[in-house]
Structure 1
Amino acid sequence: MRLSRSLAPVTVAVCLVLSLPYDAMPHARVAAPRAAPVAPEEPFGAECRTDVQGSRVVVHCHNPYADTDSVRLHIECDRWWDLDTDGAPVDVGPAQTVRLTGRCWKEVRSVWVSHRKR
Structure 2
Amino acid sequence: MRLSQRGVPVIAILVLLLAVPYDAASHTARTAPHARVSDGDRRTEPFGADCRVAVTGSEVTAYCHNPYPETDAVSLHIECDRWWDIDSDGAPRPAGAAETVRLTGRCWKEVRSAWVSHARTDD
- Partner of residue 92 from structure 2, selected from 89, 94, 100: 89
Alpha-carbon shift at residue 87 of structure 1 (Å): 0.5
Alpha-carbon shift at residue 69 of structure 1 (Å): 0.2
Q: Which runs of 4+ in 1 moved over 3 A?
A: none
User: Given the alignment of the two structures, is residue 108 of structure 1 paired with residue 111 of structure 2, yes or no?
Assistant: yes
Aligned to 2:56: 53
In 1, the alpha carbon distance for the partners of 2:76 and 2:61 equals: 9
Q: What percent of counterpart residues are identical?
A: 68
Gaps of 5+ in 2: 1-42
Name the TM-score, length of structure 2 as normaliser: 0.63
Alpha-carbon shift at residue 115 of structure 1 (Å): 0.3
Q: How many correspondences in the alignment?
A: 79
Larger radius of gyration: 1
Aligned to 2:72: 69
- RMSD of aligned Cα (Å): 0.8
Q: The residue matched to 1:100 in structure 2 has which SS?
A: strand
TM-superposition CA deviations, 1:34-69 (whole Å, max 9, x none): xxxxxx711000000111001000000000001000
Aligned to 1:5: none
Name the TM-score, length of structure 1 as normaliser: 0.66
